[in-house]
Amino acid sequence: MMGRKEGLKRLLTSKAKTLELEIEQYLGLIDQSALLLEEAIKKYLNDRFEEFEKKSAEVKETERQADELRRQITHRLYAEMLIPDSRGDVLGLLETTDNLADVAKRVANHFSTEKPEIYPFLKDDFRELTEISIKAVHELTLAVRAFFRDVYRVTEHLDKVHFWEHEADEVEDRLKRKAFEAPDIREFSKRVHMRYFAERISLLADEAEAVAERLAISAIKRNL
Amino acid sequence: MPFGGLIFLTSGLYMGWSLGANDAANIFGTAVGTRMVPFRTAAIISIIFITLGAVVSGGGAAHGLGALGAVNALPGSFVVSLCAAFTVMWMTKAGLPVSTTQAIVGAIIGWNLFSGYATDQDALTRIVGTWIFGPLLGAGIAFLLFFLVRFLLGRFNIHLIRLDKYTRTALILAGMFGAYSLGANNMANVVGVFVEASPFTDIRLFGFTFTGTQQLFMVGGLAAGVGVATYSKKVMLTVGSKLFKLSPITAFVVIVSTALVLFLFASQGLKEAMESVGLPSFPLVPVSQSQAAVGSILGVGIAKGGRNLNLALLRNIVLGWVATPLMAALLTYVALFIMQNVFMQVVYV
């Protein structure tokens, strides 16, 4: 009897529930890709290159999974005619969120192929920049989750995304100035290389902010 | 039934068609316009529930309208209904807000003036009173309902995907109620003026009596059904995307509060229940659905903080109170004169 009841319940809720779970899972993957990148960069900064490569591969794999899941969600939303009213918003949101995993993958890849020589006096700044940028991404995934479940809390998280993005900008700026002012770095190309990586890492926070702008508008629309 | 009877009913059928094409579209407009509910589903629900409301509960409001002036000759009913329909059509074409209720009331007064029957002042006051009270009540109900819905949504934190599912179900249920109330309250505008001169006789089947009046209401319901099937899709898409841009959830609030207003002014059972406990009851008269809807939309607007309040809507309501009955009355008076003296028909007895 219990089994039949459960079967019936599953039959009634499966479509919506599956999609809900997939969206949760997708946001989890985005979050995970950022956290894996953080780990990867920290390994790199500690000169543990083998471990870095391992983490870097994990970032790539997570990005691939997120991409696949996003396509599946998009297909489901259209094929099963769900949320016609806010479908455009949701799809746009998921797509731009996907950029975050994409940026994470590319940053990891740049480290892996270009193997930048990070000067010891810049290591702490790179570490801080990474941590702050990842915080922006994490806060953004929380905001997106709130958009689906508790729309009145979206702003709270978005404020934090903006805060971390601003912090990231400051650290990026500080890092670049140090790189260009430091007498230890002799070659100009190496200064430019430091600048390039600072900008790449900070791009994560910038992308998070771009999604945040979009999310703010979608959230207003959802406020009844 | 003589063939002439059928011909004279055509103007009523046209009014019924217009009810189905326009007013039913107000109910499912947002739902269909935003693709939450497929048109086919909306159409089937509208047809069934409008007819059901008309047959089960349509008599009350028709009686209220009959008290205003009992049009007692079929050619007279034809003219009254036709002139009301023409007024609605003309004003719609001119882009002016219009309500079938006000048109039919004006037309009946036109008939009263022509035939020399006195207009029952009490009935008139009751009906005109509801024109003001209807939108106000709609605004009040929508205001409260909006906060209730928002409270519930805030409390349960339903995931967007699941909320979508619940909203669809809610829109369908609200649509059923809306269509039923529309049939119960507004079908009086369509067939009310034919009640006294009805060409139908009672039919007894398996111990049930299907009265002539009920048959009349069923015919009106079917005419509305044709209106839904043939023309309402176009109107629904306009309502859903242009006129009132509502989210599916606010649309739900507006539909329910509009339907409640119409229901309150149509339910015999409710009237008796309220009177039995000594409460003041609602008079059973037709009220304007579109104005109740505009009232409800304003109610939601106020609940949202009054930022997007469109005061032109209010002005239009007041304009409708004056312009529509005046024009319908004038038109009916002239048309009755022509019917009597050119076509040699008896328009009153």
> Is A82 in Cβ contact with B164 (below 8 Å)?
yes
Cα of B8 to nearest chain A Cα, Å = 45
Its CATH class, for the domain covering A18-222, is mainly alpha
A chain contacts of residue B246, beta-carbon cutoff 8 Å: none
Q: For B300, which residue in chain A has the nearest alpha carbon? A: A224
Domain ranges of chain A: 18-222
> Which pLDDT score is estimated for A103?
96
Q: For B159, which residue in chain A has the nearest alpha carbon? A: A149
A&B contacts, CB < 8 Å: 50
Alpha-carbon gap, residue A221 to A89, rounded angstroms: 9
Residue-wise pLDDT for B190-249, tens only, equals: 888 888 777 777 787 777 777 888 888 899 999 999 989 888 887 777 655 444 567 888
Enumerate helices (H) and strands (E) in chain A, giving the number of each: 6, 0
> Is A85 in Cβ contact with B154 (below 8 Å)?
no
> Tokens for A92?
């746009």
A16 touches chain B (CB under 8 A): yes
Q: Is the complex ipTM higher than 0.85?
A: no
Residue with tokens 């209220």: B64
Cα of A13 to nearest chain B Cα, Å = 9
* Positive or negative torsion for Cα B18, B19, B23, B28: negative
B349 lies in some domain? no
Cα of B141 to nearest chain A Cα, Å = 17
Of A17, A148, A224, the CB nearest to B160: A148
> Which pLDDT score is estimated for B342?
85
B39 lies in some domain? yes
Q: Which residues contact B231 (CB under 8 A, 6 or more apart)?
A: B17, B20, B21
> Is A224 in Cβ contact with B153 (below 8 Å)?
yes
> Which pLDDT score is estimated for B242?
47
Of B34, B158, B159, the CB nearest to A84: B34
Residue with tokens 């109170």: B321
CA angle B270, B271, B275 (to 5 degrees): 115
Of B149, B154, B250, the CB nearest to A152: B154
**Helical ranges in chain B per DSSP H:** 3-18, 24-33, 39-57, 59-66, 74-93, 100-115, 121-156, 160-191, 212-238, 248-264, 268-276, 289-303, 311-341
Nearest to B97 by CA among B327, B257, B251, B264: B327
> Is A19 in Cβ contact with B164 (below 8 Å)?
no
Q: For A85, which residue in chain B has the nearest alpha carbon? A: B34
> Which pLDDT score is estimated for B323?
87
| Structural domain harbouring B300 | 3-341
Q: How far is CA B123 from CA A53, A137, B109, in A?
A: 87, 67, 11
Which residues, in sequence order, are bridge partners of residue B208? B205
Alpha-carbon gap, residue B147 to A75, rounded angstroms: 35
B247 touches chain A (CB under 8 A): yes
> Which pLDDT score is estimated for A102?
96
Nearest to B16 by CA among B174, B234, B217, B268: B217
> Is B153 in Cβ contact with A150 (below 8 Å)?
no
Length of chain A: 224
> Is A83 in Cβ contact with B160 (below 8 Å)?
yes
Residues of chain B with pLDDT under 70: 1-5, 95-97, 238-245, 307-310, 313
> Which pLDDT score is estimated for B308?
65
Contact A137, A208 (CB under 8 A): yes
Spell out the per-residue pLDDT of chain A, length 224, in tens: 445 666 555 555 567 888 889 999 999 999 999 999 999 999 999 999 999 999 999 999 999 999 999 999 999 888 877 788 788 889 999 999 999 999 999 999 999 999 999 999 999 999 999 999 999 999 999 999 999 988 888 999 999 999 999 999 999 999 999 999 988 888 999 999 999 999 999 999 999 999 999 999 988 887 76
B347 lies in some domain? no
> Which pLDDT score is estimated for B346?
80
> Is B153 in Cβ contact with A85 (below 8 Å)?
no
Nearest to A212 by CA among A160, A134, A152, A151: A160
B86 touches chain A (CB under 8 A): no
> Which pLDDT score is estimated for B283?
83
Residue-wise pLDDT for B108-135, tens only, equals: 999 999 988 888 888 888 888 888 899 8
Of A81, A85, A149, the CB nearest to B159: A149
Nearest to B296 by CA among B237, B251, B243: B251
Alpha-carbon gap, residue A102 to A29, rounded angstroms: 12
- Into how many domains does chain B fold? 1
